[in-house]
């Protein structure tokens, strides 16, 4: 599976460097944004988790958090010197998932990152179910069923479907799909991605011409639109 991508939003270089190196040691792919504006731009590329400092030079971390929540349910861990209980509650009220107070132990932060990523992977007891159970993705067994009938996906197709499903309602570019599933980028990824999506649709959609799970977003990529209820 692909390495999870983490965005560290932090203007103090000393801290971002430490956090980055600890996370990289664990195999995560880490990018750093030193301003709120940069974070909001960078996150459009698609991240699995965001670490967010509240005191940024250009805007308040709280605002960044609220803005992220307008378009994404990516886990957000707030990292800040603001440690009073009121401020913690406020951060969580804005849609953050967790709160780590400075000074902090990088190891503890890494442990929390892992816990949140695990939780995200394991939503709905390891079996993701969409459109009233029409499509089910059993993560540990790497099995997919359509209307109760097993669907024969290749490992790559399974990874792509899972990657999209775990980022439901978010537009994912072709380059992003390929680099996160294959672990690298290469020339011609557009056609490779399209070919995989075509195969997945043929297997999971009743009518691949009118997909109800994976939509094409013209000029941008693909979006998983299956509904969990």
Using the rule CB under 5 A, give the single segment among 52-60, 118-126, 174-182, 199-207 that binds Ca ion: 52-60
**Applying CB under 5 A, does 73 fall inside the site for Ca ion?**
no
- Could you give phi then psi for residue 66, rounded to 5 degrees? -60, -40
Distance (Å, rounded) from C-alpha 102 to C-alpha 11? 14
Q: How far is the CB of 55 from Ca ion (least distance, A)?
A: 4
Report CA dihedral (124, 127, 130, 133) to the nearest 10 degrees: -110
**Applying CB under 5 A, does 55 fall inside the site for Ca ion?**
yes
**Applying CB under 5 A, does 29 fall inside the site for Ca ion?**
no
**Applying CB under 5 A, does 53 fall inside the site for Ca ion?**
yes
Structure-token pair, residue 37: 């504006």
How many amino acids of this chain bind Ca ion (CB under 5 A)?
3
Candidates 2, 3, 11, 171; binder of Ca ion (CB under 5 A) is 11
Which one, 4 or 53, has the nearer CB to Ca ion? 53
Is 222 within 8 Å of 171 (Cβ atoms)?
yes
Distance (Å, rounded) from C-alpha 29 to C-alpha 222? 22
Q: How far is the CB of 106 from Ca ion (least distance, A)?
A: 16
How far is C-alpha 94 from the geometric centre of its chain's CA atoms? 18
Q: Which residue is nearest to Ca ion (CB)?
A: 55
Residues 123-152 that bind Ca ion (CB under 5 A): none
HSE-up of residue 51 (Cα within 13 Å, Cβ side) = 32
Which one, 60 or 190, has the nearer CB to Ca ion? 60
Residue numbers of the site for Ca ion (CB under 5 A)? Answer: 11, 53, 55
């Amino acid at each position: 599976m692909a390495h999870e991508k983490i965005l560290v939003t932090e203007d103090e270089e000393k801290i971002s460097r430490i956090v980055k190196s600890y996370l990289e040691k664990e195999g995560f792919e880490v990018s750093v944004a030193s301003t709120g504006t940069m974070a909001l731009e960078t996150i459009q590329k698609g991240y699995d988790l965001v670490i967010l400092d509240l005191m940024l030079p250009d805007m308040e971390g709280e605002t960044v958090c609220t803005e992220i929540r307008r378009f994404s349910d990516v886990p957000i861990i707030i990292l800040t010197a603001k440690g009073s209980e009121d401020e913690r509650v406020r951060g969580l009220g804005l849609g953050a998932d967790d709160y780590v107070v400075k000074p902090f132990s990088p190891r503890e932060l890494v442990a929390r990152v892992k816990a949140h990523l695990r939780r995200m992977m394991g939503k709905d007891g390891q079996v993701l179910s969409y459109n009233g159970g029409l499509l089910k993705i059993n993560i540990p067994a790497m099995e997919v069923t359509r209307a109760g009938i097993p669907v024969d996906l290749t490992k790559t197709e399974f990874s792509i479907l899972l990657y999209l499903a775990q980022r439901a309602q978010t537009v994912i570019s072709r380059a992003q799909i390929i680099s996160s599933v294959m672990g690298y980028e290469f020339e011609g990824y557009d056609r490779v991605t399209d070919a995989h999506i075509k195969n997945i649709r043929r297997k999971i959609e009743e009518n691949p011409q009118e997909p109800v799970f994976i939509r094409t977003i013209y000029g941008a990529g693909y979006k998983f639109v299956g509904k969990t209820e």
